[in-house]
């Protein structure tokens, strides 16, 4: 089972920031938070990941609370092309065997509206 809880859907106005929440209250010290997204009918695409510090790249920012029990993915200026299902995934840092495998939940369907 997925170790994360996300709202099933969200709307965002084009050009505004999209803030997607994720709860992962059972996360352990050796687990990272990853975000992927899936645009309709395509394969998932990696966005960003982090352990405990906030992270930023060209696509998004990831804010992780100090207790690491929740996080927020921020798309600073959402466009229509950002309409997709966004998956928050908790993943072990121990690779080898199955520990590092991604476990997808149902994600949040983000609809960016003009």
Partner 1 sequence: NAGVTQTPKFRVLKTGQSMTLLCAQDMNHEYMYWYRQDPGMGLRLIHYSVGEGTTAKGEVPDGYNVSRLKKQNFLLGLESAAPSQTSVYFCASSYNGDQYNEQFFGPGTRLTVL
Residue among 24, 64, 83, 107 that touches partner 1 (CB under 8 A): 107
Under the criterion CB under 8 A, does residue 103 sit at the interface with partner 1? yes
Site string for partner 1, 11-50 (x = CB under 8 A): ---------------------x--------xxxxxx--x-
Under the criterion CB under 8 A, does residue 61 sit at the interface with partner 1? no
Under the criterion CB under 8 A, does residue 87 sit at the interface with partner 1? yes
Q: How far apart are CA 93 and CA 106, in angstroms?
A: 22
List the one residue out of 32, 36, 27 whose CA is nearest residue 110.
Answer: 36
Q: Are 32 and 93 in contact (CB under 8 A)?
A: yes
Angle at Cα 110 formed by Cα 79 and Cα 66, nearest 5°? 100
How far is C-alpha 114 from the chain's CA centre? Answer: 23
Q: Which is nearer to partner 1, 45 or 65 (CB)?
A: 45
Q: Which is nearer to partner 1, 8 or 114 (CB)?
A: 8
Question: Which letter does DSSP use for residue 16 in this model?
Answer: S
Residues lying near partner 1 in the complex (CB under 8 A) are found at 2, 32, 41-46, 49, 51, 87, 91, 93, 95-98, 100-107
């Amino acid at each position: 089972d997925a170790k994360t809880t996300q709202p099933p859907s969200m709307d965002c106005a084009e050009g505004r920031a999209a803030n997607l929440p994720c709860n992962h209250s059972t996360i352990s010290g050796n687990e990272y938070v990853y975000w992927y997204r899936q645009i309709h009918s395509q394969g998932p695409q990696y966005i960003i990941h982090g352990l405990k510090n906030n992270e930023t790249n060209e696509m998004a920012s990831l804010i992780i609370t100090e207790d690491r029990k929740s996080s927020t993915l921020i798309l600073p200026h959402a466009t229509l092309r950002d309409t997709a299902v966004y998956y928050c995934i908790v993943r072990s840092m121990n690779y080898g065997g199955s520990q590092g495998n991604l476990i997808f939940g149902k994600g949040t369907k983000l609809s960016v509206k003009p």
